[in-house]
Amino acid sequence: MNERVEHDSMGEITVDADKLWGAQTERSRRNFVVGKGHERMPRELVSAIALIKEASALANRELLPEKMTEEKCSAICKVAEEIRAGKLDEHFPLVVFQTGSGTQTNMNVNEVIANKANADCGKKLLHPNDDVNLSQSSNDVVPSAIRVAGATAIADSLFPALEEMIVELTRLEKENEGIIKCGRTHFQDATPIAFSQEISGWRASIEKDRKLLLMTLPDLSELALGGTAVGTGLNAPEGFDQLVAEKVADLSGLPFTSAKNKFHALTSLDEIVFAHGALKALAADLWKIANDVRFLASGPRAGLGEISIPENEPGSSIMPGKVNPTQCEALSMVACQVMGNDTTIAMAASQGNFELNVFLPVVALNFLQSIRLLSEAITSFCDHCLSGLVANKEKMKENLEKSLMTVTALVPIIGYEKAAKIAQLARAENKTLREACLTLGYLTEEEFDKNFHPEEMV
């Protein structure tokens, strides 16, 4: 295997000749093998760091033109854009479980940009620390990158998925107007409800979750950039924090701003905890909807059977013809994962010791995974389940007619205790409510028929 020699402040080390990373990346690659097969630094985070490098180069070009020449700025921006486009993914090998500041991933990006730019121009133009990392520290770059990656993923992936689900539920709500069914509380029969009303509850939950997520974005969009190592802004020119935030906003198309207190921004992750709390709320609602759908579709003959959902694949290796609510199960597992991620993020956020939180990589992993999984699972659930959901009207009517809780309509006429006796007799002797009421003599046939209208109880 062809190798080349790279060096850093600790000395020389060999690197595969076809790789663009440098000495610090190579040391991390060798020293941290935990999760090497799967838990690599999220690509979204690497892309966000590259965006920050581009924004920093542009800000430095204005504030420190003697150090950040036009040639250097253009070279940094060109490679950063290649990284953001996914063209250099193979050159980011590091795992999540490394230094808690994410320093080695910040250096991985610095080294790839420097080496690629130097190779492109055929000379030693850029130094990873002196040029690509100018006016920055890993300590302000990585927490800022988590916010950039998270806010971008919410805006670009999660919100479109939520909008698709809201549209799908609105369609189902309109299509099922006028269908009355048995309501259920405590898994027991309750008073009637319109199926469209039940669906409207699902829709409103998703709309509320979208609103809660929108509330998180202003605080999530405050960046630590300009704080450098401990929040003092050492080695960054005056005004860098404001200008680089403006550049990040321009490049991303999102309203990022400079955090007012950099000491807070470097050590606290409360905005991310808050934002992930909204993701957890969404996960809880999605799990509820998935459960409702799978229970309503249970059967097809020995369950509720009030709706039909698409039959996407065989459900059993032994039972011929069995089909399962697999999209509901996938969505529920994602919700479960998000709730676990929330615990990890909350515990990690509590480790802001002195001037820095050193659990940043695991926060990035869990935060970005939650957004990605929710976005993908919602889209899958809409496309492969909700799009083909159909009400079984006859089954809903049958179950409604069997329900004893429609006796609630008689409470204003005969009182709670007499109505309860009607329900108890009907259940004990397998009578209809009408038969039980007449047997007990509480109402005449005419009085019962006048006051008992389950379809009007919604």
pLDDT computed for residue 38 by the predictor = 76
User: Do residue 82 and residue 187 come from a single domain?
Assistant: no
Residue 426's CATH number: 1.10.40.30
Domain containing residue 423? 404-456
Which residues, 6+ apart, have CB-to-CB distance to 283 below 8 Å?
A: 334, 335, 338, 339, 370, 374
Do the bridges between strand 3-8 and strand 11-16 make them parallel or antiparallel, or are there none, so unpaired? antiparallel
Q: Which of 170, 234, 156, 236 is nearest to 206 (CA)?
A: 170
Q: Is residue 159 part of a domain?
A: yes
User: Do residue 305 and residue 362 come from a single domain?
Assistant: yes
Among 348, 370, 394, identify where a domain stops.
394
User: Do residue 175 and residue 108 come from a single domain?
Assistant: no
Question: What is the rounded distance in angstroms from the CA atom of residue 304 to the CA atom of residue 322?
Answer: 16
Question: What is the rounded distance in angstroms from the CA atom of residue 236 to the CA atom of residue 265?
Answer: 16
Q: Is residue 236 part of a domain?
A: no
User: Mean pLDDT, to the nearest integer, of 388-403?
Assistant: 96
User: Do residue 182 and residue 319 come from a single domain?
Assistant: yes
Amino acid at 44: E
User: Do residue 160 and residue 294 come from a single domain?
Assistant: yes
pLDDT computed for residue 37 by the predictor = 64
Q: Is residue 327 part of a domain?
A: yes
The answer, yes or no, to whether residue 204 has pLDDT greater than 90, is yes
User: Mean pLDDT, to the nearest integer, of 440-450?
Assistant: 96
User: Do residue 378 and residue 301 come from a single domain?
Assistant: yes
Distance of CA 150 to the CA centre of its chain: 9
User: Mean pLDDT, to the nearest integer, of 203-208?
Assistant: 98
Residue 294's CATH number: 1.20.200.10
pLDDT computed for residue 129 by the predictor = 97
Do the bridges between strand 352-353 and strand 356-357 make them parallel or antiparallel, or are there none, so unpaired? antiparallel
Q: Mean pLDDT check: name the lowest of 24-38, 188-202, 213-227, 438-452.
A: 24-38
Note the pTM of the prediction, 2 decimals: 0.96
Query: Which two tokens mark 399?
Result: 């179950």
Q: Is residue 238 part of a domain?
A: no
User: Do residue 441 and residue 383 come from a single domain?
Assistant: no
| pLDDT confidence bin for 34, thresholds 50/70/90 | confident
Among 375, 394, 413, identify where a domain stops.
394
The CA distances from residue 73 to 59, 60, 62, 221, 396, in Å, are 9, 8, 10, 25, 67
The answer, yes or no, to whether residue 36 has pLDDT greater than 80, is no
Residue 38's CATH number: 1.10.275.10
Domain count within the chain: 3
CA atoms within 13 A on the CB side of 202: 25
pLDDT computed for residue 455 by the predictor = 87
Rounded to 5 degrees, φ, ψ at 21 are: -75, 170
What pLDDT, in 10s, does the model give residues 238-261?
999 999 999 999 999 999 999 999
What pLDDT, in 10s, does the model give residues 52-110?
999 999 999 999 999 999 999 999 999 999 999 999 999 999 999 999 999 999 999 99
Query: Which two tokens mark 92?
Result: 């980011």
The answer, yes or no, to whether residue 390 has pLDDT greater than 90, is yes
pLDDT computed for residue 35 by the predictor = 76
User: Do residue 329 and residue 204 come from a single domain?
Assistant: yes
DSSP 378-436: HHHHHHHTGGG-EE-HHHHHHHHHH-SGGGGGGHHHH-HHHHHHHHHHHHHHT--HHHH
Catalytic residue ranges: 186, 316
User: Mean pLDDT, to the nearest integer, of 347-356?
Assistant: 96
Amino acid at 369: Q
Q: Is residue 16 part of a domain?
A: yes
Q: Is residue 235 part of a domain?
A: no
Query: Which two tokens mark 8?
Result: 């850093």
3-state secondary structure of 327: helix
The DSSP bridge partners found for residue 40 are 95
The answer, yes or no, to whether residue 444 has pLDDT greater than 80, is yes
Tell me the helices (H) and strands (E) count for the chain, helix number first.
17, 10
Under DSSP, the state recorded for 320 is: T
pLDDT computed for residue 257 by the predictor = 98
User: Do residue 171 and residue 282 come from a single domain?
Assistant: yes
- Mean pLDDT, the chain, as a whole number? 97
The CA distances from residue 261 to 224, 247, 356, 358, in Å, are 8, 19, 13, 19
| pLDDT confidence bin for 137, thresholds 50/70/90 | very high
Q: Is residue 11 part of a domain?
A: yes
pLDDT computed for residue 371 by the predictor = 98
User: Do residue 448 and residue 338 come from a single domain?
Assistant: no
Q: Is residue 222 part of a domain?
A: yes
User: Mean pLDDT, to the nearest integer, of 159-176?
Assistant: 98
The answer, yes or no, to whether residue 405 has pLDDT greater than 90, is yes
User: Do residue 214 and residue 111 come from a single domain?
Assistant: no
The answer, yes or no, to whether residue 415 has pLDDT greater than 70, is yes
User: Do residue 105 and residue 189 come from a single domain?
Assistant: no
